[in-house]
Homo-oligomer: A and B are copies of this chain.
Amino acid sequence: MFNFNYYTPTQVVFGRDTELEAGRLVKKYGGTSVLVHYGGRSAKRSGLIDRVKKALEDEGIQYCELGGVVPNPHLGKVREGVELAKANGVDFILAVGGGSVIDSSKAIAYALADLDHDVWELFAHTRSAVGCLPVGSVLTIAAAGSEMSASCVITNEETGEKRAYDDDIVRPKFAIMNPALTVTLPDYQTQAGCTDIMMHTMERYFNQGGTLELTDEIAEGLLRTVMKYAKILHEDPSNYDARAEIMWAGSLAHNDLTGCGAASGGDWTSHMLEHEMGGMFDVTHGAGLAAIWPSWARYVYKDCMDRFVQFAVNVMGVDVGGRTPEGICEAGIAAMENFYRSIGMPTNMKELGIEPTDEQIRAMAAGAARACGGSRGTAKLLFEEDFVKIYENAR
């Protein structure tokens, strides 16, 4: 095991009708003038935005609002939010949505704390944040885990770059999680969310040097739980208890709990490769992860055999009888592909609906290499030529 830091200051308020507490919580954390930030029309149409605004009004809190955040949220929308917030003296950003809306809110919060610099410099990693405004969320999609995480991923729609910036100072003050708000999600988005949740823990799980056994118990239990309830939601999308399991798993999968003691906090190569696909083809993040993971796993498992065997047995329930260690690993990866298929997720890029040319693959690999400074991976350290092969094998 390795030394680790663990910091999850976000107050979670979980359960039915909890969105009615939005005003109380904004007030508790010092907000007096709020930017209510959201995505598409469904949050409006469902009445959720009105309920949240009513909760703010009941506490005498001012607000302005900005919708229209898209998946793989755009830098342009961030800039729009910054201008609106400046004009309204905003001191708190309230995200009502999923990971894209929360990430857009985090980027606005960074920008407002340092108006002399361009916020994209954070994502280009040419400077670090000096502060950020407080952020809170009313979560409507279980997937990204952004409601408790230090992560923020923004796409520069002019250059096609999708880049992450992580800093503990951006962890939200509170997260309101009402599983009932997620029951109307289309199945594809639900399952892409479940895939993303699992990947946040799998990225941490596959590493050299071990974690704590307690961390592994939590990670494996979380993965089994998500697989079970993803399948239930595939058949019965309005099941509240299943939505609750998935929603809480989404937060715990990415608040660092499932990586305590792991080297460098995990591998993260699959995420990095998917970010390039998202930047170039605007694919759904979780589906993109499902499309790239099997190729990555087959490329690296021989250099991280113990973990892939443990994963196959404890998570995928592979029967070891008569199998070689390699055979156990292969069976575990195949079982994960079968799971993806069972919930309607792709297992390669063609099934994802993209067919990149050789040139596009080289461009994505080069972009990934730039994003990670040349190499990445704790399961196996990989370089640009490896990224090319993993993309090619994922076709």
Contacts and interface: CB of A to CB of B under 8 A. Distances in A.
Given A225-B217, A248-B212, A6 B2 contact: no
A224 interface: yes
Contact of A3 (B8, B15, B225, B257): B15
A261 interface: yes
Interface string A230-264: 00000000000100110011001000010011000
A241 B245 CA distance: 31
Interface of A: 1-9, 11-16, 18, 212-215, 217-218, 220-222, 224-225, 228-229, 241, 244-245, 248-249, 252, 257, 260-261
**Residue among A5, A6, A11, A229 facing the most chain B CB atoms (10 A cut-off):** A6
The 8 closest A-B pairs by CB, nearest first: A3-B15, A217-B221, A6-B12, A9-B9, A7-B11, A214-B225, A4-B14, A221-B221
A252 B9 contact: no
Nearest to A17: B3
10 contacts: A1-B241, A6-B14, A8-B8, A212-B245, A213-B228, A213-B229, A214-B221, A214-B245, A217-B224, A248-B260
Nearest to A252: B214
Contacts of A8: 8-9
Contacts of A261: 14, 244, 248
A16 B261 CA distance: 12
Contacts of A249: 214
A229 B214 CA distance: 10
A3 B9 contact: no
A15 B7 contact: no
A145 to B, nearest CB: 14
Contact of A244 (B12, B212, B221, B224): B212
A321 to B, nearest CB: 21
B12 A245 contact: no
Copies in the assembly, this chain: 2
Given A7-B12, A12-B6, A1 B217 contact: no
Nearest to A241: B1
A9 B222 CA distance: 22
Given A6-B11, A9-B11, 7 more contacts: A214-B225, A217-B221, A217-B222, A218-B218, A218-B222, A221-B221, A248-B261
Contacts of A245: 212-214
A233 to B, nearest CB: 14
Contact of A5 (B6, B11, B241): B11
Contacts of A2: 15
B5 A14 contact: yes
A5 B229 CA distance: 22
B13 A5 contact: yes
Contacts of A228: 213
A224 B212 CA distance: 13
Contacts of A14: 3-6, 260-261
Contacts of A225: 213-214, 217
Contacts of A221: 214, 217-218, 220-221
A8 B252 CA distance: 12
Nearest to A18: B3
Nearest to A168: B11
Given A14-B260, A221-B221, A260-B14, A248 B214 contact: yes
A253 B212 CA distance: 15
Contacts of A5: 11-14
Nearest to A256: B12
Contacts of A224: 217
